[in-house]
Amino acid sequence: MSGSDPKFTPAQHEAFAAMRESRKRRRRPPRKFTFHLAYRVADVSTGYLAESDLALLLEERAPFHVANMDGNYGSLFTTGITEGTVEDAVATLTTFGFSEKMTRLWRAAHEQGFAYIRFDADGGDVTGAD
C-alpha cells in the first residue's frame, strides 16, 4: 500500500475502509414530510409603526411577544387571546406603550384570522394602513 499512513497497519486500513462502506450502506434517503397544520403569519413592514414602537418590538416582556428573529429579521407576536376580549388585549398593548398604529395592525391581524404578526423593516405592505 503505497502512500498509506505509516501509523496504521494494513489490517487497520482495511477495517477503516470497511467501516466507511458500512456507513454508506446504512444511509437512508431523506424522508419526505407532509405537514397537516399551518398557521397564518401577517408579514408587516415596521414602516407602518410609530418610531416609539420600534424599541418596544424587541422587548421580550412585551405583551403577545413570541420571539425576535436572529440576525434582525423581525419580531414575532401572537394575535391569540387566552384571556379577556380584543379590547382587553388592545388596552394591554397600549398600557405597555405601543402606539395606536401598532394596536390597529395587531387588531386587524387578529380579526382576519392570522395567528401571528411579524414586524420587520423588510416586511410586507398592508393595504389601508397608511
At 82-115, the pLDDT tens digits run: 889 999 999 999 999 999 999 999 999 999 999 9
Global pTM reads 0.72
Lowest mean pLDDT, pick from 1-5, 43-47, 63-67, 124-128: 1-5
Whether pLDDT at 119 is above 80: yes
pLDDT for 130 equals 75
Reference 66, options 41, 37, 95, 91; nearest CA is 41
Q: In this structure, are strands 75-78 and 116-120 parallel, antiparallel, or unpaired? A: antiparallel
